[in-house]
Amino acid sequence: MKTKDKIIHTSLKLFNERGERQITTNHIAAELGISPGNLYYHFSNKQEIIRSIFDLYVAQLESSFRPHADQRLSLEHLTQYLDASFELMWRFRFMYANLLELLARDAELEQKYQALQLELANWSRDILFQLRESRFLSGDDATMAELADSVKFIIGAWIGYQSAQLKGGEITKPRLYQGVLKILFTLRPYFTEESQNIYQDLHQHYVKCAERSE
Amino acid sequence: MKTKDKIIHTSLKLFNERGERQITTNHIAAELGISPGNLYYHFSNKQEIIRSIFDLYVAQLESSFRPHADQRLSLEHLTQYLDASFELMWRFRFMYANLLELLARDAELEQKYQALQLELANWSRDILFQLRESRFLSGDDATMAELADSVKFIIGAWIGYQSAQLKGGEITKPRLYQGVLKILFTLRPYFTEESQNIYQDLHQHYVKCAERSE
């Protein structure tokens, strides 16, 4: 791995584990065993590292949630989407937890974030329409669009909200699996008759994930 | 109104309108036309004012959401709950928007907040059970409890999430009415056959509120 990428991944790890506010570029250089000068050769400040982490986040979002045209979805796809929701929240948890602060601090990041939100809104809606097309869900267009917005809201808001409920604000894997279960609960009334057993299997699977990761 | 109460209400107004971070005790004293010394006679710092605002918030929550035992709910009650959700979000919007920051800064406030969350979880569950008892909603106990948790999540997380979607983070009344509509959408699948027209009326009412307040 190139030094630049190592800096990005190590920063992400430290931000997640110890909180972005606590971590300076010196901590990052020390963790990597490189000199601060070497770090500054790649990034002129912490804010630039955060922007690179955001680019990584966008790339993972695209590969997980950008739907293919006219795709026929299988149970595997549905599980992939739910797993990706969890992975995304877990992998970038410091960003979800500090979102407003990070955006207030950096107008360029704010602009990127808001442009991404519009894309995400479209992707979520397209995925919900495909889930209806593939007979997992049923409901009119307006309902599917509102449901897509609810799912996007849960993923986007879950960590910030859960952090406030927890002493010290530290987020745990079971809490994030509760978020996946919340998505499932929100979709449940729209699962078709023929997909009821699929709903049950998914629900049991993620209840187990939440327990296993305690 | 006593000076102490005036300080609390003026601070709340300034925090909401200009952001808590921008406002110092000097701004508050100037807005009231009193000397900083007079303000310090009542509060030793801004943090103490924020705690008093929190007490006001708890009092409004109690008077709006603490359910009476064995209450038979009417349409009026349901509208009151939805109106109260809006009022609460609007009236204390700076707190919802800065929640994690406020809690990270003040361990006493964090403790109060988390104790309140447990109470709120009970109240929400009791209200949902009463809504079922009064034949507005139907569903088993586990479903009603999860639904109560969803409603609590929407009220608690809506402003933080919406602020991130808006350039400059400024929250508007229509955005908050969208939150009320999100609560209604989440409850919709559980409205009983006999309450379908009530759902439709409530939905139209809050769509109009969202448009009127633009």
What are the φ/ψ torsions at residue B7 (nearest 5 degrees)?
A: -60, -45
Q: Give the pLDDT band of residue B93 (cuts 50, 70, 90).
A: very high
- The one-letter code for the residue type at B55 is D
- Identify the sign of the CA torsion A128, A131, A133, A135: negative
Residues A108 and A24 placed together within one structural domain of the fold: no
Range of the domain at B3: 1-44
Among the ranges given (A89-93, A143-147, B89-93, B99-103), the one the predictor scored with the smallest mean pLDDT: B99-103
Region B172-178: what's the mean pLDDT? 95
| Residue-level pLDDT at A184 | 98
Q: Which of A156, A16, A7, A174 is nearest to A94 (CA)?
A: A16
| Residue-level pLDDT at A2 | 93
Report the length, in residues, of chain B.
214
Cα separation, A207 vs B2, in Å, equals 53
Contacts of B108 in chain A (CB under 8 A): none
- Contact between B127 and B96 under an 8 Å Cβ cutoff? The reply is no
Residues B53 and B23 placed together within one structural domain of the fold: no
Residues B52 and B134 placed together within one structural domain of the fold: yes
Predicted complex ipTM: 0.94
Contacts of A110 in chain B (CB under 8 A): 167
Tokens, residue B168: 């400059």
Inform me whether the pLDDT recorded for B157 exceeds 90: yes
Cα separation, B178 vs A50, in Å, equals 31
Interior angle at CA A153, CA A152 and CA A154, nearest 5:
95
Q: Which residues of chain A have pLDDT under 50?
A: none
| Residue-level pLDDT at B88 | 96
Residues A17 and A60 placed together within one structural domain of the fold: no
**Whole-Å CA distances, B62 to A4, B7, B11:** 53, 22, 22
Tokens, residue A7: 């800096």
Residues B102 and B2 placed together within one structural domain of the fold: no
- Contact between A53 and A108 under an 8 Å Cβ cutoff? The reply is no
| Residue-level pLDDT at B136 | 96
* Percent of chain B residues topping a pLDDT of 70: 100
Unique residue bearing structure tokens 């003040």: B106
Unique residue bearing structure tokens 């296993």: A212
Cα separation, A111 vs A108, in Å, equals 5
Unique residue bearing structure tokens 């009127």: B212
Q: What mean pLDDT, rounded, does chain B reach?
A: 94
Residues B180 and B165 placed together within one structural domain of the fold: yes
Inform me whether the pLDDT recorded for B70 exceeds 80: no
Identity of the residue in A101, A161, A169 whose CB atom sits nearest the CB atom of B153? A161
| Residue-level pLDDT at B206 | 97
* Percent of chain B residues topping a pLDDT of 90: 86
Q: pLDDT digits over B124-152, tens only?
A: 999 999 999 999 999 999 999 999 999 99
Residues A17 and A69 placed together within one structural domain of the fold: no
Q: Which of A2, A69, A60, A6 is nearest to A33 (CA)?
A: A6
Q: Which of A161, A160, A139 is nearest to A148 (CA)?
A: A139
Q: Do B101 and A97 touch (CB under 8 A)?
A: no
Inform me whether the pLDDT recorded for B72 exceeds 90: no
Q: Do A103 and B158 touch (CB under 8 A)?
A: no
- Identify the sign of the CA torsion B121, B124, B130, B135: negative
Residues A53 and A130 placed together within one structural domain of the fold: yes
Inform me whether the pLDDT recorded for B68 exceeds 90: no
Q: Give the pLDDT band of residue B95 (cuts 50, 70, 90).
A: very high
Identity of the residue in A103, A150, A169 whose CB atom sits nearest the CB atom of B182? A150
Residues B87 and B142 placed together within one structural domain of the fold: yes
- Contact between A90 and A48 under an 8 Å Cβ cutoff? The reply is no
Residues B54 and B25 placed together within one structural domain of the fold: no
Inter-axis angle of helices A173-187 and A75-91, nearest 10: 140
Residues A175 and A148 placed together within one structural domain of the fold: yes
Q: Which of A86, A98, A87 is nearest to A19 (CA)?
A: A98
Contacts of A164 in chain B (CB under 8 A): 99-100, 103, 113, 117, 156
Residues B157 and B192 placed together within one structural domain of the fold: yes
Unique residue bearing structure tokens 């139907």: B138
| Best to test chain B binding among A120, A155, A165 (most B CBs inside 10 Å) | A165
Nearest CA in chain B to A186: B186
| Best to test chain B binding among A103, A117, A149, A158 (most B CBs inside 10 Å) | A103
Strand partners, A137: A191
User: How many distinct structural domains can be found in chain A?
Assistant: 2
Tokens, residue B185: 């959408």
Region B59-85: what's the mean pLDDT? 91
Nearest CA in chain A to B144: A185
Q: What is the CATH number of the domain that holds B26?
A: 1.10.10.60
Ramachandran assignment for B71, one of left (phi > 0), alpha (psi -120 to 50 degrees), beta (any other): beta
| Residue-level pLDDT at B213 | 80
Inform me whether the pLDDT recorded for B1 exceeds 90: no
- Contact between A193 and A161 under an 8 Å Cβ cutoff? The reply is no
Q: How far is CA B76 from the centre of its chain?
A: 19
Identity of the residue in B104, B160, B167 whose CB atom sits nearest the CB atom of A157? B160
Q: What dihedral do alpha carbons A75, A78, A84, A87 form, nearest 10°?
A: -70
**Whole-Å CA distances, A11 to A27, A57, A94, A136, A138:** 9, 14, 11, 40, 43
| Residue-level pLDDT at B159 | 95
Helix (H, G, I), strand (E, B) or coil at B19: coil
Q: What is the CATH number of the domain that holds A191?
A: 1.10.357.10
How far away is chain B from the Cα of A100, in angstroms, using its nearest Cα?
Answer: 6
Q: Do B164 and A101 touch (CB under 8 A)?
A: no
Unique residue bearing structure tokens 């990127």: A112
